[in-house]
Structure 1
Amino acid sequence: MKNVIASFTIFIFLIFGIIFSIKYIEKTCNFYKMEASNLENVLINNDWEDAYKLSNTFLDSWEKDSKIIAIFVDHHHIDTVYTEALKLTQYTKCKDKSNSLASVHTLKFLMDDIIDYQKLTFQNIF
Structure 2
Amino acid sequence: MRHILIVVLVLALIIAGDVGAYRYLKTTSASLNSEVKSMVDYISKGQWEQATASADALRREWGKRKSAWSILVDHKEIDEIEQSLIRAEYYIKTKNKSMSLAESKTLSSIIEHIPDNQLFSIENIL
* TM-score normalised per structure 1: 0.92
Question: Are 1:22 and 2:22 counterparts?
Answer: yes
Distance in 1 (CA, whole Å) between partners of 2:75 and 2:16 is 23
The aligned counterpart of 2:45 is: 45
Distance in 1 (CA, whole Å) between partners of 2:35 and 2:57 is 9
Q: Is contact 1:59-1:86 (8 Å) kept?
A: no
Deviations 1:49-78 (A, max 9, x none): 111111122122212201101111101111
Amino acid at match of 1:27: T
How far 1:119 sits from its partner (Å)? 2.3
Distance in 2 (CA, whole Å) between partners of 1:17 and 1:55 is 32
* TM-score normalised per structure 2: 0.92
How far 1:13 sits from its partner (Å)? 1.1
How many residue pairs get aligned? The number is 126
Q: Is contact 2:32-2:61 (8 Å) kept?
A: no
Distance in 1 (CA, whole Å) between partners of 2:122 and 2:7 is 24
Equivalences for residues 47-86 of structure 1 within 5 A? 47-86=47-86
Amino acid at match of 2:80: T
Q: Which runs of 5+ in 2 are unaligned?
A: none
Q: Is contact 1:73-1:118 (8 Å) kept?
A: yes
Cα-Cα RMSD:
1.3
Amino acid at match of 1:117: N
Kindly report structure 1 stretches of 4+ aligned residues shifted beyond 6 Å.
Answer: none
Question: Are 1:11 and 2:11 counterparts?
Answer: yes
